[in-house]
Amino acid sequence: MELTKGAKLLIKTLNDHGYEAYAVGGFVRDNLLGNPLFDVDVTTSATPEQTLEVFKDFKVYLTGLKHGTVTVNSLGENIEVTTFRVDGDYKDNRHPNTVKFVSSLNDDLLRRDFTVNAMAFDGENLIDLFGGKEDLENKILRAVGNPSKRFEEDALRILRGLRFASVLDFEIEPETAKAMQEKAHLLKNVSVERIFIELTKMLLGKGVERVLLSFKDIIFTVIPELKACDGCDQNTKFHSFDVYEHTVKSVAISSKDKAVRWALLLHDIEKPSCYSVDARGIGHFYGHQAKSAKTAVQILKRFKADNKLIKLTNDLIYLHDIKTEISRGDIKRLLNNYGAETLKKLALVKVGDGLAHAKEYAFERERLALEFLNTVNSIIDGGECYTLKDLAVNGNDLKGIGYFGQEIKTGLERALSLVIDGKVENEKGLILERLKNERPS
Q: What share of the chain is helix, strand, coil (3-state, %, to 5)?
A: 55, 10, 35
Residue number with CB closer to ligand ATP (84 or 244): 84
Cβ contact 202:166 at 8 Å:
yes
Residue number with CB closer to ligand ATP (38 or 286): 38
User: Which segment (133-141, 154-162, 234-242, 309-317) binds ligand ATP by CB under 6 A?
Assistant: 154-162
Q: Give yes or no for residue 320 binding ligand ATP (CB under 6 A).
A: no
* Widest Cα–Cα separation across the chain: 93
Q: Give yes or no for residue 26 binding Mg ion (CB under 5 A).
A: yes
Q: Give yes or no for residue 156 binding ligand ATP (CB under 6 A).
A: yes
Shortest Å, Cβ 29 to ligand ATP: 6
Residues 7 to 26 in contact with ligand ATP, rule: CB under 6 A: 25-26
Residue number with CB closer to Mg ion (196 or 372): 196
Backbone φ, ψ for residue 434 (5° rounding): -60, -45
Q: Which distant-in-sequence residues (6+ apart) come within 8 Å of 357 by Cβ?
A: 238, 239, 240, 246, 365
For every residue of 344-372, DSSP letters joined together read: HHHHHHHHHHHHTS-HHHHHHHHHHHHHH
Shortest Å, Cβ 80 to ligand ATP: 8
Look at strands 41-44 and 77-83 and give their pairing: parallel
Name the residue type at position 140: I
Q: Give yes or no for residue 300 binding ligand ATP (CB under 6 A).
A: no
Angstrom distance (rounded) from CA 223 to CA 434: 55
Q: Give yes or no for residue 198 binding ligand ATP (CB under 6 A).
A: no
Q: Which does residue 357 touch among Mg ion, ligand ATP, none (CB within 5 to 8 A, set by kind)?
A: none
Cβ contact 93:154 at 8 Å:
yes
Size of the site for Mg ion (CB under 5 A): 1
Cβ contact 72:57 at 8 Å:
no
Number of residues that make up the chain = 441
- In this chain, which residue has its C-beta nearest to ligand ATP? 26
Cβ contact 192:221 at 8 Å:
no
Residues 239 to 258 in contact with ligand ATP, rule: CB under 6 A: none
Size of the site for ligand ATP (CB under 6 A): 11
Residue number with CB closer to Mg ion (118 or 331): 118
User: Which segment (20-28, 51-59, 63-71, 181-189) binds Mg ion by CB under 5 A?
Assistant: 20-28
Nearest alpha-carbon partner for 259 in 219, 340, 203 = 203
Q: Give yes or no for residue 128 binding ligand ATP (CB under 6 A).
A: no
Of the candidate residues 112, 271, 350, 365, the single one contacting ligand ATP (CB under 6 A): 112
Shortest Å, Cβ 36 to Mg ion: 13
For every residue of 313-324, DSSP letters joined together read: HHHHHHHTT--S
Shortest Å, Cβ 48 to ligand ATP: 17
Residue number with CB closer to ligand ATP (118 or 416): 118
User: Which segment (25-33, 72-80, 217-225, 390-398) binds Mg ion by CB under 5 A?
Assistant: 25-33
Residue number with CB closer to ligand ATP (35 or 378): 35
Residue number with CB closer to Mg ion (37 or 430): 37
Nearest alpha-carbon partner for 343 in 259, 278, 414 = 259
Element (H, E) at 434: helix 428-438
Shortest Å, Cβ 1 to ligand ATP: 15
Nearest alpha-carbon partner for 167 in 54, 317, 36 = 36
Nearest alpha-carbon partner for 19 in 48, 58, 46, 56 = 46
Element (H, E) at 126: strand 126-127
Residue number with CB closer to Mg ion (41 or 245): 41
Q: Give yes or no for residue 118 binding ligand ATP (CB under 6 A).
A: yes
- Residue 111, SS3? coil
What mask of x and - would describe binding to ligand ATP in positions 30 to 59, judged by CB under 6 A? -----------x------------------
Angstrom distance (rounded) from CA 335 to CA 317: 16
Shortest Å, Cβ 304 to ligand ATP: 19
Q: Which does residue 118 touch among ligand ATP, Mg ion, none (CB within 5 to 8 A, set by kind)?
A: ligand ATP
Q: Which residues of this chain interact with Mg ion, rule CB under 5 A?
A: 26
Q: Which residues of this chain interact with ligand ATP, rule CB under 6 A?
A: 25-26, 41, 112-113, 117-118, 154, 156-157, 160
